[in-house]
Amino acid sequence: MLPCLEKVYQMVLQTQLQFLDNEQILQIRLQDSYRLILKKDYLHIYNKDDPFISLLICFPNLIQWYVVKDLLIGFSINGYEFTSHQGNLLKKLKTLLGGRMLFSKVQDFFQPQKVLGSGSSSKVMGVTEKESGNQYAAKCVKKEDMSFQEIEINNQLQHPAFVKVKEVHQGETSFYIVMDLLQGKTLQLFLGHHKPFQLEQTKQIMHALLEGIEFMHSKNIMHRDIKPENIILEVKGGQVRLKIVDLGLATYSTLKKFKNPKCGTIGFVAPEIINLQNPNHTYDKACDIFSCGVIFYRLLTGRDVFPGSKFSYVFELNKKCNIDFTYLTLQKLPVNLTVCICIIEESCLKNVIKRSQIETYSHLVFESRIFQEHSKIQCHPKKARVFVVQIAHC
């Protein structure tokens, strides 16, 4: 490089660095003399050095993207339109804002494929990202049913048992939550055969499920709708990978008052929720452990804890929480598994206080070495030993 050009280059670099203070994540040159600066929680637009727009990065704030021939050329915020020649930086901006505020025009970025599943409030479609060809799942939720808390909670759950939200788009009547695509089947489909699961798989499922729940609970979040439709399993070479989906009813357990306090699914919901009289009363995150117990029973016996084809009948059984344990005792189970049944099926299902006490570390019981018959207490991690002692007192 010629010495004079090098000097100019250094000067340009210097000026750029002056703009980039420590908090700045990204800077993009826009049309005329506008520029965008992305900070941790704010997006700022300046005209020369004068502040023009400041927008908090949160829901339901919206950024509308402009795409021409699949290329990102600009965006609008609060009705102001901006363009930039720095297409790659716009792409980076979109990635950094994904899942943190609303985007528009899902159809500009994703091609719909087949329906993957549906639930009480949504339909989930497979979609292909036009630019990369990558596959994702898009949950379509009617505007009136949408709670942005579902996304905010999801963003806090960075753990292998939960999916990552990529983007949230606003359409005319619905929102589209674009997230990791799961290739497996719901536990509900696996259970459809009405047979008990093999012990090794039961152990793997319960371990992964309780580990995910424990992580969630460590953030003071409770799911409130743990059931086989909301658990997706990938079984490869005898190994089970499990994901917990659907945070539509999830909430913070530390709140003084819950939104939709009486919620969940009949047949899986904890008795303290189904019998809740006063909507101002709260309950504990141990409600999720109850639902895990119901799933555990189903995996071991191939039967429902609260069986019946009539809704009102199952509702009554669930309310009274009368459980028939004979099917469990009929199974030929390893000693430690019988202990697990004691925790999860007996004390836990009936007694909320005990359920919340022994919740901690319960997933460790399902770790292979602890799960084996005649396994030795000495080889348990310290935490598990505490847990085993607690079981003994149940």
Ligand X SMILES: Nc1ncnc2c1ncn2[C@@H]1O[C@H](COP(=O)(O)OP(=O)(O)O)[C@@H](O)[C@H]1O
Residue 60: is the preceding peptide bond cis (ω within 30°)?
Answer: yes
122 binds ligand X (CB under 6 A): yes
Residue 122 binding: pick among ligand X, Mg ion, none (C-beta 5-8 Å cut-off by kind): ligand X
Q: Which does 321 bind (CB under 5 to 8 A by kind): ligand X, Mg ion, none?
A: none
Segment holding 383, helix H or strand E: helix 382-393
Q: Could you give the C-alpha distances from 103 to 98, 129, 160, 165, 304, in angstroms and in order?
A: 8, 15, 26, 13, 42
Going 315 to 320 to 326 to 331, the CA torsion angle's sign is positive
Is 225 designated active site? Answer: yes
- Which residues, including other chains, have CB under 8 Å from residue 289's CB and lie 6 or more apart? 213, 344, 348, 355, 356, 359, 362
In the numeric block, which tokens belong to residue 88? Answer: 């790659």
* Minimal CB distance residue for ligand X: 119
**Cβ–Cβ < 8 Å for 67, 89:** no
Smallest separation, CB 203 to ligand X (Å): 23
Supply 19's token pair.
């703009």
Nearer to ligand X, 179 or 286 (CB): 179
> Closer to ligand X at the Cβ: 137 or 352?
137
* Contact characters 140-179, ligand X, x per CB under 6 A: -----------------------x---------------x
**Nearest distance in Å: CB 224, Mg ion:** 11
Exactly one of 170, 202, 230, 253 binds ligand X (CB under 6 A); which one? 230
- Phi and psi dihedrals of 142, rounded to 5? -60, 145
Q: Which residues pair with 80 in a beta bridge?
A: 77
Catalytic hit among 21, 108, 225, 324: 225
Quote the CA–CA distance of 42 and 56 in Å, as a whole number.
5
Residues that bind Mg ion (CB under 5 A): 119, 230, 246
Binding partner at 181 among Mg ion, ligand X, none, C-beta below 5 to 8 Å by kind: ligand X
User: Considering the rule CB under 6 A, would residue 212 count as an interface residue with ligand X?
Assistant: no
Asked if 119 interacts with ligand X (CB under 6 A), we say yes
Residue 143 in marked binding region: yes
Catalytic residue numbers, as ranges? 225
List of residues contacting ligand X (CB under 6 A): 116-122, 124, 137, 139, 163, 179-182, 186, 229-230, 245-246, 248
Which residue ranges make up the annotated binding site for ATP? 143
